[in-house]
Amino acid sequence: MITKELVAASTEPLILSLLAGGENYGYALTQEVKRLSGDKISWTDGMLYPVLHRMEHRGLIKSRWGESESGRKRKYYSLKKDGKTAMAKHHEQWSLVHSVLAGLRKGQYA
Amino acid sequence: MRDLEQPLAERANAHTVKQNRTVAIAGGVLTVLVGIVILRAAAVQSRDVGKITSLSVELFGLGLILICIGTAISFLASKRCFQPQSPNKKMFNLEQSIEEWRAQMFAAGVKTPVPLEELEIHLRDEVEQHVKSGLAVQRAFEISVPHVGSPELLNNEFKKCEKPLMKQPLKIGLVVAGIFAGAALTVPGDIQLRDELVVANGRLGLYLLGWVLIVWSLQQGLRQAILPKGSKVKFENLKMTMGKQPVKTGAGIVVLLIGVALMLPAAAQVCSEGLMRFEALCGMVFGIGLLWAGTLVTFWPYEKRKA
Domain residue spans of chain A = 4-109
Contact B205, B113 (CB under 8 A): no
pTM of this prediction? Answer: 0.47
Q: Which residues of A touch B148 (CB under 8 A)?
A: 44-46
Lowest mean pLDDT among A57-71, B15-29, B185-199, B257-271: B15-29
Average pLDDT over residues B42-68: 76
Tell me whether B148 touches chain A (CB under 8 Å).
yes
Q: In this predicted structure, what is the pLDDT of residue B237?
A: 39
Among A45, A48, A69, most B C-beta atoms within 10 A, so best to mutate, is A45
Q: In this predicted structure, what is the pLDDT of residue B19?
A: 67
Q: Over 70: is that where the pLDDT of B72 sits? A: yes
Q: Which residues of B touch A50 (CB under 8 A)?
A: 115, 154, 157-158, 160-161
Confidence category of residue B244, pLDDT binned at 50, 70, 90: low
CATH of segment(s) A4-109: 1.10.10.10
What share of chain A has pLDDT > 70, as a percent? 97
CB-nearest to B147 from A45, A54, A74 is A45
Contact A50 B115 (CB under 8 A): yes
Most confident range (mean pLDDT) of A9-18, B15-24, B74-83, B142-151 is A9-18
Tell me whether B102 touches chain A (CB under 8 Å).
no
pLDDT tens, position by position, B167-218 = 667 777 888 888 888 888 888 888 887 777 777 777 778 888 888 888 888 8
CA distances to A47, B110, B117 from B114, in Å: 14, 9, 5
Q: What is the complex's ipTM, to 2 decimals?
A: 0.86
Contact B153 A47 (CB under 8 A): yes
Q: In this predicted structure, what is the pLDDT of residue A1?
A: 72
Average pLDDT over residues A12-28: 93
Higher pLDDT, A10 or B152: A10
Q: Over 80: is that where the pLDDT of A6 sits? A: yes
Nearest CA in chain A to B157: A50
